[in-house]
Amino acid sequence: MSPTSLTRRSLLGAAAAAVAGSAEADAAAKRWAARPPAGFTRLSIPGKVVRATRPDSRQANGAYPKPEAAQALLQAAMTGLTGKETLREAMAMVIHKDDVVAIKPNGIAGRKTMKMATSVELLAAVVQAVLDVGVPPEKITVYEQYRDFLFATRCITEKETLKPAKEMPAGIRYAVHLNKDAEMGELAVGGVLTKFVTPFTSATAVINVGQMKDHSICGFTGAMKNITHGSCINPHAFHAHTASPQIAHLFSQEVVRTRVALHLIDAFQVIYDEGPIDMNPRRRVPHDSVYASTDPVALDVVGWELIEQLRKENGLPTLAQAGREPTYIRVAGDLGLGVFDRAAISLREIRV
């Protein structure tokens, strides 16, 4: 047999092995895809974003929302999104009583000042809405990366024991994954191996309760990054090149896109520069709003637009001029994860 034949055979064998390996990886990824309860179809409205806003929605300290405002704005945002009359009916469009639900807040900004994080007032309202759908409390978990992050949301009062705050409904669970609690097999995303964490993969439905902030690496963080970098074991491995296209590629994984059912944004305050950590109160402004969408791309487009507007009003360069344009949002649109074209995005604003 000639060397040429051997080389050809070797190449064909290597190609076949690569195809088999790829097929095996695809099959492994599909095993971690989430499936809704039998007979249930989750609401999905590409391109629709709802902003519910109410002046003077925050408490006297200016940082935390009033509980009644958080409840009212969540209800307005959800009923505006779904067309239903009540919050329970609206939540039932995305969450089924037989779901196992994980809720991912965003606490990184407030870990120093305790004045900028997903608020316990909004989290309590979200949890109660899920309970009202019929999900048992033991099947609801609020999780974060680190204890400091979860503590910043004020939904727990003790870091080590994860003791729940009095505002939170009784019986639900809390988890901190520390970037290492993962049971699934490894996925290769852009040539980097990763896993998504157990509190995330154990759920059949995830509710994302993020914030709108400037970000020193990727320019803007809102819906997508709160999930991708807050739910994998090695988020820092996906920060190069302003985290683009990594955020989009992470979100495109079946384990993610089949699992995240709803995106909410706690926008009682936003950070338009020097984020994502709340270090300069002059860069944090009130916005008195809650956003809701099933489309993470459209929601991030709207959030990016808001941050750019605030930067312009305060004499700052655009994120592109600052070298931090969040191009991952455009990539996510190209991957079919949602609507990127602003002209095709419907932003409904409801004043409560």
Q: Give residue 23's pLDDT band: very low, low, confident or very high (50, 70, 90).
A: low
Q: Is residue 14's pLDDT more than 60?
A: no
**C-beta separation of 94 from 261 below 8 A:** yes
Q: Residue 26 domain-assigned?
A: no
Count of domains forming the chain: 1
Out of 30-34, 168-172, 242-246, 263-267, pick the least confident. 30-34
Do the beta carbons of residue 153 and residue 144 sit within 8 Å? yes
With bands split at pLDDT 50, 70 and 90, how would you rate the model's confidence at 2? very low
Tokens 């300290």, located at residue: 61
Which pair of tokens denotes residue 271?
């950070």
How far, in Å, CA of 10 to CA of 303, rounded? 51
Q: Is the pLDDT of residue 331 over 90?
A: yes
In a domain, 257, yes or no: yes
> Is 306 among the domain residues?
yes
Query: Is pLDDT of 200 > 90?
Result: yes
Spatial distance between the Cα atoms of 58 and 70, rounded to a whole number of angstroms? 9
Question: Can you give the pLDDT at residue 28?
Answer: 58
Long-range contact pairs involving 231-235 (C-beta distance under 8 Å, separation at least 24): 231/104, 231/177, 231/196, 231/197, 231/199, 231/200, 231/256, 232/179, 232/194, 232/195, 232/196, 232/197, 233/179, 233/180, 233/182, 233/194, 233/195, 233/196, 233/197, 234/179, 234/192, 234/194, 235/145, 235/179
Q: Which domain holds residue 202?
A: 44-351
- Amino acid 64: pLDDT: 96
In a domain, residue 200? The reply is yes
Q: Is residue 104 part of a domain?
A: yes
Q: What is the pLDDT of residue 12?
A: 40
Mean pLDDT of 150-161: 97
Q: What is the pLDDT of residue 29?
A: 60
Model confidence pLDDT, tens digit, residues 177-192: 999 999 999 999 999 9
- Residue 18 domain flag: no
Residue 38 lies in a domain: no
pLDDT (0 to 100) of residue 114: 87
Residue 111: pLDDT band (50, 70, 90) is confident
Residue 5 counted as domain residue: no
Name the residue among 62, 6, 211 with its Cα closest to residue 122: 211
- The pLDDT assigned to 30 comes to 72
pTM of this prediction? Answer: 0.92
Residue 279 is part of a domain; what is its CATH number? 3.40.50.11440
